[in-house]
Amino acid sequence: MSEKIALGNWGEELVAKKARCPKCKNAKTLKKLTQNFKCADLICDFCGFVAQVKTSSTNDINTLPNSILGAAWGPQKERMDAGIYTSLFVVLRSKSDKNYSIFFLPSELQVPEMFVAREPLSGNAKRAGWQGFLIDTTLVADRFVRLI
Ligand SMILES: [Zn+2]
Query: What's the gap in Å between 50 CA and the centre of ligand 1?
Result: 8
DSSP states of the chain: --HHHHHHHHHHHHHHHHPBPTTT--BS-EEEPPTT--S-SEEETTT--EEEEEEEEES-TTS--SEEEEEEHHHHHHHHHTT---EEEEEEEESSSS-EEEEEE-GGG--GGGEEEPPPPPTTSTTTT--EEEEEGGGGGGG-EE--
Query: What's the gap in Å between 13 CA and the centre of ligand 1?
Result: 16
Residue 1 banded pLDDT, cuts 50, 70, 90:
low
pLDDT in tens, 46-83: 999 999 999 999 999 999 999 999 989 999 999 999 99
Which percentage of the chain shows pLDDT scores above 70? 99
86: CATH: 3.40.210.30
Domain count, the chain: 1
Average pLDDT (134-146) is 97
What is the domain range of residue 39?
A: 3-146
pLDDT in tens, 4-32: 889 999 999 999 999 999 999 999 999 99
The reported pTM is: 0.93
Query: What's the gap in Å between 40 CA and the centre of ligand 1?
Result: 14
Query: What's the gap in Å between 4 CA and the centre of ligand 1?
Result: 28
